[in-house]
Amino acid sequence: MANRFDWNALEERITAVLDEYPELSRTKALSVVAACELFDIDSEEAVDAITDGANDRGVDLFFIDDRDGRNDIHLMQAKCVETFDRSKRNFPGNEVDKIISFINDLSAQDESSFQNANELIKTRIADAFEILKQAKATITVHFVGNCKGLVQDERDRLENAFSRYRAISFEMHNLDSLSDYFLEKQAPNLSREISAIDNNFFDRTDQNLRGIVCTVLATDIVEMIRSKENPSEVEPSIFDQNVRVYLKRRNRINKIIISSALDEENHMFWYRNNGITMTCDKMEMGPSRRNPKISMQNVQIVNGGQTSNCLFEAWQENSERVADVLLLVRIIETTSEDIKLAIAESTNSQTPINVRDLKANDRLQRQLELTFADMGYFYERKKGQFANEDRAMRIDALDAGQAFLAYGVGLPEVAKKDRGRVFGDLYETVFSDEVSAQKLLVSHQLIAAVNQRKTEVRRKIREEEQLEPGRMALVDGAFHALFAIRQLGIERKIDLWDFEAANQLVDDAISAVETLYKEAVQRDENFSSNRFFKEARTKDLVTRAVA
């Protein structure tokens, strides 16, 4: 059961969003926090997906995920209570009927049912109709609350309502599950010890590398990752050099790992599991050839974070059963940070690794962090790396790379639809020899200037003010506005990396994109905002418009 520490952890995230977007309510801020984690998107994209307000048909957030060939529609209802005492209440069920009605109309693709919906909903509906025409389209409804979940009767009602649809489902995210996402600590230099089972180990040395492969007791791993200050918790800093910041999450794969450690055939764990890979600066093996002790200095688990944490959870549930579990462990001794990074990148994982995290310790990323520090900024190679610093002075590597992809490289449609490629196949393109901290900073500052104008559009929508034709363009077209600044700068022969000069072009650039948007809406009765800004040809229209 969630406790006050869990409440505080989630409150910190909600507060951070409110600091960045003071115009949001607490419920909307919770929606943003949840969307960022559940859908792996940034806060700006999450805010863009908010539809909460007058005539929202019971949908607080509407996100369409068409990355990597997916055709997934995510709808969210959120409830954010004010105090910890109220977190013990259940998620209110009075909105369930609204979401059931919305799903029925959406799946029937009944446009007339949405005539009175707010403008943000209407925009998403048009995009959703396009998605629903595609193969393997899915709809998932997420109920998100910093409280307990829906009561069983309401869950049963949803199950019954959605049972007629093959590809529609719902998920409940309550305070318990949400708080599990937010465990962070500073990383000390850790020394740990494990024992190889019997004489089942292999010791190898190559130049400045040493490796040991052995079988160990699962309880040794549990003890190794156990916090010395709080023995009932995991010491998260032992995973600090893992390419992915570990997110404690009871997903399908983790449940399988836990079950396999506790079931009657847990002797199969050694054969079914990929094991754990560790790095350390120095290791020493005891003289005994049977059950030798292996001591490690500055040890890190770089692969197998899910396995380690799942064994800890299984041990908490039934320590006697876990005492019978054996697993494979590989330990590499090296003081080279580059080699540690290469090991972290090349070892596989049972849960897919975020491509951004694979490059987090890249030499160029570390150099950029140092350069930004000299400029007075905090460059976050890893997501949330400087979460306690002033938000205005933090530069997220992925956000900056995404902005540079649109402004410096000239690919706004890719920045819009697939920002994951910044640290994937386009990594060498974005972070080439031509990139610099200054260029990333200017790109980041310009998209921030565009987003300030977008905030005003959101405010008008929320307060039901009249919008000028074309103003909705900024909700989906911010990166095309950024690209338009680039094209105007080239046309007017200004220095693209002089922020003050480029910033003077923001309003003209936005005006050009809004005009194109308005013309496209008038031209196409089946216009989709999402599709318009993800098509490559739209970039060409922008270039011609500012010439």
Residue 243 has pLDDT above 60, yes or no: no
> Over the stretch 21-33, which tens digit does the pLDDT of each residue have?
998 999 999 999 9
pLDDT for 292 equals: 92
Please tell me the distance from the alpha carbon of residue 68 to that of residue 291, in angstroms, as a whole number: 48
Distance of CA 172 to the CA centre of its chain: 18
pLDDT confidence of residue 504:
97
Segments in 284-384 forming alpha helices (H): 305-317, 319-322, 337-346, 355-358, 363-374
What is the reported pTM?
0.64
* Per-residue pLDDT, 59: 92
Single out the residue of 417, 421, 415, 426 nearest to residue 450, CA to CA: 415
Contact 360, 379 (CB under 8 A): no
Taking only the tens place, the pLDDT of each residue in 105-145 is 888 887 888 888 888 888 888 888 888 888 788 999 999 99
Identity (one letter) of the amino acid at 172? M
Query: So what's the pLDDT on residue 251?
Result: 55
Task: Give the residue-averaged pLDDT of 46-58.
Answer: 87
SS3 203: strand
Check if the beta carbon of residue 321 is closer than 8 Å to that of residue 314: yes
Angle between helices 473-491 and 437-462 (to 10 degrees): 140
Alpha carbon distance 114, 95 (integer Å) = 17
Q: In this model, does residue 351 exceed pLDDT 50?
A: no
Q: Is the pLDDT of residue 250 over 60?
A: no
pLDDT over 90 for what percent of the chain? 51
123 vs 48: CA distance, rounded Å = 11
Average pLDDT for 376-395: 89
Chain-centroid distance of CA 357 in Å reads: 11
Tell me whether strands 300-303 and 209-217 are parallel, antiparallel or unpaired. Answer: unpaired
Mean pLDDT across 371-382 = 94
pLDDT band at 374 (very low <50, low <70, confident <90, very high): very high
From residue 224, alpha-carbon distances to 47, 227, 231, 287, 466 in Å are 40, 8, 11, 21, 61
Confidence of residue 506 (pLDDT cuts 50, 70, 90): very high
Q: Which residue has the tokens 């030499």?
A: 363
The Cα 363–Cα 365 span in angstroms is: 5
Beta strands per DSSP E along 445-491:
none
Are the beta carbons of 266 and 248 closer than 8 angstroms?
no
Position 355 confidence tier, pLDDT thresholds 50, 70, 90: low
Percent of the chain with pLDDT over 70: 94
pLDDT at position 347, please?
A: 67
Q: State whether residue 69 is helix, strand or coil.
A: helix
pLDDT of the residue at 187? 46
Write down the mean pLDDT value for the chain.
Answer: 87
Tokens 């790396």, located at residue: 385
Average pLDDT of the segment spanning 169-198? 76
What the block records as the tokens of 489 is 């700068």
Answer with the residue of higher pLDDT: 361 or 395: 395
Q: How far is CA 228 from CA 183, 294, 318, 358, 541, in A?
A: 16, 19, 21, 29, 60
Q: Which residues contact 286 (CB under 8 A, 6 or more apart)?
A: 292, 293, 294
* Ranges 17-31, 110-124, 307-321, 472-486: which has the least confidence: 110-124
Checking if the pLDDT of 184 tops 50, the result is no
Closest CA to 6 of 229, 171, 248, 183: 183
| 44-53, 59-68, 201-210, 251-260: segment of lowest average pLDDT | 251-260
Taking the C-alpha atoms of residue 105 and residue 153, their distance in angstroms, rounded to an integer, is 23
Q: Which helix (H) or strand (E) holds 504?
A: none
Q: What is residue 293's three-state secondary structure?
A: strand
- 220 vs 251, higher pLDDT: 220
At residue 67, the pLDDT reads: 81
Q: What is the pLDDT of residue 359?
A: 82
Least confident residue range of 101-110, 172-181, 285-294:
172-181
Predicted confidence (pLDDT) per residue in 527-541, tens digit: 888 889 988 899 999
pLDDT class of 183 with cuts at 50, 70, 90: very low
Burial 93-112 (b: 16+ CB within 10 A, else e): eebbeebbebbbbbbeeeee
What strands lie across the sheet with 293-297, from one edge to the other? 191-195, 293-297, 282-285
- Identity of the amino acid at 159: E
- The type of residue at 40 is D
The sign of the dihedral angle between the CA atoms of 352, 354, 355, 361 is negative
